[in-house]
Amino acid sequence: MISSDIMTGKAAFMASLLFLFALFTSNLRITDAQIGVCYGMMGNNLPSPREVVNLYRANNIKRMRLYDPNQAALEALRNSDIELMLGVPNVDLQSLANNADAARQWVQRNVLNYYPSVNIKYIAVGNEVNPVGENREHSPYVLWAIRNVYRAIRAGRLHDQIKVSTAISMRLVGTSYPPSKGSFRDDVRSYLDPIIRYLVSANAPLLANIYPYFAYIYSDGRISQQYALFTAPNVVVQDGSRGYQNLFDAMLDSVHAALDNTRIGYVKVVVAESGWPSDGAFAATYDNARTYLDNLIRHVNRGTPMRPGPTETYVFAMFDENQKNPELEKHFGLFYPNMQKKYPFGFGA
């Protein structure tokens, strides 16, 4: 006969195992959900929004970035449980910045009319606005558009559920090597610092578009393809106690450091775009794109040397878009327009 003490010990042991298993599977579900996919619509041969939402769900893609408040897409997203990053196009920034009532109407029409049946998580007010770049005409309006949209969200008591931010490109980073010395360009600080102060006060993340592909092709041979594709066998960049084996981590940590080095306050970073083209330019091949995407999807659960832990990341893009230019911009899709997978990827169970 087995003693009651042994039975009690076995029961406690089994209970501990069950607890650890539950914790493990819970963590798996959390990390599986770190990847989203950007849904661009610049194609004349793309499936309907409802078909696209069904495609997201069929492939366990739990997060979507939408670049403008397309009403058909928002309707299709109702009760889908897909988390949404909703974009305010750059062309709308001036009206929302100059007219608080226009911002309230925008929020009512595109957010309050859909939430919570559409699981809106972020509003990206503007995309890659550069105060010293080609779209500089939009830069005076970004901060005030953010503030007016935020106030409208706060008036609806949703500011803890829906975070208002903007998406930047790496062109605003002046120093990125080594990553710990990351800093924003001096000539964009007057534009960025007030936005960062807002992000700190609103507890909102900065959205950053990070493309190792472009850093690699414009590096004049200083960056290896292996480093850009996550395939380097060893550490490539040693930055104090931190070792970098891939360019994605180094670029992302340079943004983390740039934020920290402003000394304004802590801001989380969400990677709002990252991808690799399969055609149309140097190193834009099917094999390279497949390698980058597969490694990116698996890698983001680990975090970076500076910020361990899962990194919320949105892959660019859902489809090849035949109305984009230049040519390589047409070839970032995970799917062909006929909804067939371009690559044999997976997003977890």
pLDDT tens, residue by residue, 75-89: 999 999 999 999 999
Instruction: Give the whole-number percent of the chain exceeding pLDDT 90.
Output: 88
Nearest to residue 177, comparing CAs of 77, 261, 253? Answer: 253
Residue tagged active-site, from 128, 312, 321, 329: 128
Reported as a pLDDT band with limits 50, 70 and 90, residue 346 is confident
End-to-end CA distance of the chain: 43
Q: What is the pLDDT of residues 91-148, one digit of tens each?
A: 999 999 999 999 999 999 999 999 999 999 999 999 999 999 989 999 999 999 999 9
Q: 8 pLDDT band (50/70/90 cuts)? A: very low
Q: How far apart are alpha carbons 62 and 324 in whole angstroms?
A: 26
- Mean pLDDT, the chain, rounded, equals 91
Does this model's pTM top 0.85? My answer is: yes
**32-58 per-residue burial string, b: 16 or more CB within 10 A, e: under 16:** bbbbbbbbbbebeebbebeebbebbee
**Which residue among the candidates 51, 134, 273, 327 is catalytic per the annotation?**
273
Partners of residue 239 on adjacent β-strands: 242
Active site residue 75: no
Q: Collapsing DSSP states into helix, strand and coil, what is residue 128?
A: coil
Which pLDDT value is given to residue 187? 97
Helix axes 100-107, 139-155, angle to 10 degrees: 60
How much is the average pLDDT of 213-229? 97
Q: Over the stretch 15-31, which tens digit does the pLDDT of each residue have? A: 343 333 333 333 333 33
* Maximum distance among all Cα pairs of the chain, rounded to whole angstroms: 83
Asked if pLDDT for residue 162 goes beyond 80, the answer is yes
SS3 86: strand
Cβ-contact 59, 340 below 8 angstroms: no
Sorted by where each begins, the domain ranges of the chain are 36-331
State which CATH number among 3.20.20.80, 3.30.70.1340, 3.40.50.1360, 3.90.105.20 fits the domain covering 36-331: 3.20.20.80
Q: Is 329 a catalytic residue?
A: no
Residues 6+ apart with CB under 8 A from 307: 252, 253, 256, 269
